[in-house]
Structure 1
Amino acid sequence: MGKIPVFVLSGFLGSGKTTLLKKLLQACEEKEATPAVLMNEIGKTDTDGEIILESNKQQVIEKLLDGCICCSKKNEVAGSLKKLLKNGPDVIFIELTGVANPEEVADSLTEPELIDHLYLEKVITVLDGENVLEYTSIFESVKELVRTTRRQIEVADILMVNKTDLISDDHKGKIDKVIKKQNTKSPVYYTSYSEVDIDLLLGDLKKSGAGVSTLKNRGERLQQKDIPHHKHEHESTRSYARINTITLDFSQHVKPRKIEKFLKKWKPNLLRAKGYIPLKDGCYLLQHVMKRTYLEPSEHEGRYYLVVIGVNLKTDEVKSEWEKLNA
């Protein structure tokens, strides 16, 4: 049996990676190929994993929570991938936290216990078309985030500019210029709701470990490269972290407008919010990205919670305001 291909889904917070992952998994089912998933969240709560399991409760998933896959969790990647290999997958998808550098995964795949079994097939970077041009100005004081976003563009084999239904043609042109400064070789697809011809991403995926052969020996070539390590601080468990996550619980039903008002208090430091919230008519999945908040009915039966992700959020202040909302 040949090596198993690994696809890395990269891109900043809220760009649409999980939506794309759901489509990739559906395509695998149609091709009768068996996928496995490694999901990385910088917080302690795995909302994205729950979203995937809602679609397919049998999906094989390993989770690395409360840290970045290329920093505090890097030493756990090999163990998680070994667990996935025991299930005999035909392909593995790794969805990175939005602030991870994807090239670090290529380094992880060179571990002795993995090098003969896996190879990096593609890095697919998903960009938030509505907000990507604002990242540089919003994060002017957080240079590392700017560098991370640029690096995600630079190392991508395929780029997807998502949420194009929310932007103008002029805005698309400006994004195209930004991309070309970092990457002139990789194809760029403009999408809405991560809708794309999946065959452009997966290639000729086949069952029984045949893998993807669109880039012959690509894994071996990448593993021979000298891949630099870029240090960055965003571990939510450390006080000096620039990006931190706060998990908030619910004591009662809430009104959506109250949550939106709460989230606005933390601009511009707030990057993202997501979780399962109790409304009068049931459970809803909430996702907040930059200026927009999305709600959709959910069959989630676990605890209700909201995770907020931001730059230098003041935990005590956030929790204090949250307690007032829940009072």
Structure 2
Amino acid sequence: MDKRIPVTLLTGFLGSGKTTLLNKLLNHEGMKDTAVIINELGEAGLDHILAQNVESSYVADNTVLLQSGCLCCTLSNELADTMRDLFFKRAMEAIPQFNRLVIETTGMADPGPILGNLMNEPVIESVYRLDAVVVTIDAVYGAEQIDTHAEARKQAAVADVLLITKTDLASPAQIATLKEKLIALNPGATQHKILHGAIDPDFIIDVGLFDPTGKQAEPQRWLRAPVKSAKPRGMLPQAAHDDDITSFTVTMPKPLNWKDLKPRILWLCQTYGEHLLRLKGIIHAEDQPAPLAIHAVHFTPYPPTLLEGWDEDEPISRIVLIGKGLDELEIRKALMQV
């Protein structure tokens, strides 16, 4: 099974509670073998984290070991450089062993390019794997921010897990409106309401393709495909407006060969790359020894993961797409022609 280090990308709009969440996570017993990269330009900042974890020591350059056992470092160069640096220090035992990585981004960050850049780095791709994108949403202002700011919409749209924060400050009507908006924008994501950053790490860590033991793949959980279409029955897929973020699932025909589907995925990325926020899929191909997990962001398809030792009772190949202005009908036709 995949031995790479799982990465959780933690993002959320300005003031949505990432700092509070990080402080709670870093003090949790279940996070002791975790490394955290904090963007020094973000509202968190390493000094703010350390102020609440006074028992700490510098172990290497900008890397700090907290009393809880977590490693923290600031993002001083490019993200890929920082990730490589952490891995090589880990390999040389210059820092304690860590078994997972959390990356906190700035509040205005578009997670798509971050994910895409990491996929283009051979060293990074060989030692790290994306586990999940976790997004904090302010219960009071989140709905307005999603309507007003493209970054907030993109963050919510590509999330695997949505954390609704500051629920004590919002009315039940505000929370209900926000939840409905998030379901319409990203029906496949799981939602959790949290107060003062308190949440069991099990809800946001190791929630991706592989379970915490790393022994078994859980593609159904990873795909988080919409349960049902929001379109009325009999209505054909339509091309979305340029600013509309939509998600849909394509169930692939059988039998299927990866050698025929791969060029279609490449075409899809090249054609819709700027607007393709995220693609995830499970492919049961006759020319592969086991199912494949595929993943793409913008123009970049990620190397597929062979899910050895895993199968479904009724193998169904399906691809989930999230993007802006995607021509669903054209995409469905292209994928169904393999």
TM-score, structure 1 as length reference? 0.55
State the partner residue of 1:48.
45
Is 1:228 the counterpart of 2:298 in the alignment? yes
Q: Please report how far the alpha carbon of residue 135 of structure 1 lies from its aligned counterpart in structure 2 after TM superposition.
A: 2.6
Instruction: Give the aligned partner of residue 12 of structure 1.
Output: 13
Match of 2:111 among 91, 102, 110: 102
Q: Is the 8 A contact 1:39 1:63 kept in 2?
A: yes
2:131 to 92, 96, 121: 121
Deviation at 1:99, TM superposition (A): 0.6
Query: Which residue type is aligned with residue 36 of structure 1?
Result: A
C-alpha spacing 1:199/1:131, structure 2 compared with 1 (3 Å): same
1:199 pairs with 2:208:
no
SS of 2:74's partner is strand
Work out which structure has the larger RCO, using CA pairs closer than 8 Å and 6 or more positions apart in sequence.
1
Please tell me whether the aligned partners of residues 135 and 163 of structure 2 are also in contact (alpha carbons under 8 angstroms). yes
C-alpha distance in structure 2 between counterparts of 1:36 and 1:182, whole Å: 31
User: Alpha-carbon deviations, 1:28-71, whole Å to 9, x = none?
Assistant: xx23742111111437xx75211222315224333236xxxxxx
Contact 1:5 1:119 in 2 (8 A): yes
Q: Which residue of 1 aligns with 2:33?
A: 34
Q: State the Cα distance separating 1:83 from its structure 2 match.
A: 1.4
1:63 maps to 74
- Aligned residue number for residue 82 of structure 1: 84
Paired residues in the alignment total 206
Do 1:90 and 1:210's aligned partners in 2 also have CA atoms closer than 8 Å?
A: no
CA drift of 1:197 comes to 2.5
- Which residue identity is paired with 1:128? D
**What is the letter of the counterpart of residue 5 of structure 1?**
P
Matches within 5 A, 1:1-327: 2-27=3-28, 30-31=29-30, 33-42=32-41, 48-54=45-51, 55=53, 57=56, 58-59=65-66, 60-64=71-75, 76-85=78-87, 86-87=89-90, 88-110=97-119, 111-135=121-145, 139=148, 146-203=149-206, 215=218, 224-228=294-298
Counterpart amino acid of residue 22 in structure 1: N
CA drift at 1:204: 8.3
* C-alpha distance in structure 2 between counterparts of 1:148 and 1:32, whole Å: 29
Distance 1:37 1:185, change over 3 A: same
What are the Cα deviations for residues 116-145 of structure 1, in whole angstroms up to 9, with x where unaligned?
1100101110011121233367x5xxxxxx
Distance (Å, rounded) in 2 between the aligned partners of 1:117 and 1:171: 42
- Give yes or no for contact 2:131–2:207 (8 Å, CA) kept in 1: no
User: Residues 166-192 of structure 1, C-alpha deviation per residue, up to 9 Å, x if partnerless?
Assistant: 011111111112212211111111121
Structure 2 residue identity aligned to 1:80: T
Tell me if structure 2 keeps the 8 A contact 1:4–1:211: no
**Offset of residue 19 of structure 1:** 1.6
Query: Contact 1:109–1:119 at 8 Å: present in 2 too?
Result: no
Q: Distance in 1 between matches of 2:207 and 2:188?
A: 21
Take 1:22 and 1:213, find their aligned partners in 2: how far apart are those partners?
30
SS in 2 for 1:121: strand
- Cα distance 1:102–1:180, how it changes in 2: closer, same or farther (>3 A)? same
Give the whole-Å Cα distance in 2 for the aligned partners of 1:221 and 1:178: 22
Shift of 1:200: 1.6
CA RMSD of aligned residues (A): 3.2
- Cα–Cα, structure 1 residues 53 and 124, in superposed 2: closer, same or farther, change >3 Å? same
CA distance in 1, matches of 2:190, 2:31: 27
